[in-house]
Amino acid sequence: MTKLTLGSHPHMLGFEQLERLLVRTAKTGNEGYPPFNIEQTSDRGYRITLAVAGFAEEDLSITVEDRQLVIRGRQRDDSSERVYLHRGIAARQFQRSFVLAEGVDVGDATMENGLLHIDLTQVMPETRIVYVRPVSTAILPDDVREELGNIDEVYAVHSAAGERLALVTERDMAFVLARQNDLSPVAVH
């Protein structure tokens, strides 16, 4: 039997990255230790809290690797300095991973009463709108008109503040230019 994946399905083109993300998330089982909470602190803010009693700040490392937040804990073994009559608290190491969505930034990490708090913020990209409008070549400087030749109308691509970004001879090209620069084009007549 052939395994059907998102990337090989004929109606699911370009989903290979999503499939890799799902596989990577499934591999971060972590056996439930240490326990954690994820809370939403604002519209775009989150906090991950891990119960790390017995770990000092220097026993913990927090890194971002390939869009994964990775928290590792390794306690120093001080058993040679102590004589235990009973040892019920294990000095074990752990690794906890959380897959981060694009645009999620890791902020501050603080320790408080055996809890490690890690703040996350979802950054929304700035939307920049530009306008595409027809412009008569008669209002352009002489040297620009000479370069354009017998063209009577061009299309100006400009920002909402009026900053001219480009002049192009074809309307469709103006929209392509705006989209290539991650701008949201709006036609003005």
If one compares 161 and 184, the residue with the highest pLDDT of the two is: 161
> Predicted confidence band at 24 (pLDDT cuts at 50, 70, 90)?
low
Predicted confidence (pLDDT) per residue in 70-125, tens digit: 999 998 766 677 788 887 776 778 999 998 888 899 999 999 999 999 999 998 77
| pTM beyond 0.85, yes or no | no
Cα of first residue to Cα of last residue in the chain, in angstroms, is 58
> Predicted confidence band at 63 (pLDDT cuts at 50, 70, 90)?
very high
Q: What stretches of 52-167 show up as alpha helix (H) in DSSP?
A: 142-148
- Whether 161 has a pLDDT exceeding 90, the answer reads no
- pLDDT of 58 reads 92
| Rounded mean pLDDT, 3-28 | 61
| Rounded mean pLDDT, 121-137 | 79
Beta strands in the chain (DSSP E): 36-40, 45-51, 60-65, 68-73, 94-99, 104-112, 115-122, 129-136, 153-159, 164-168, 184-187
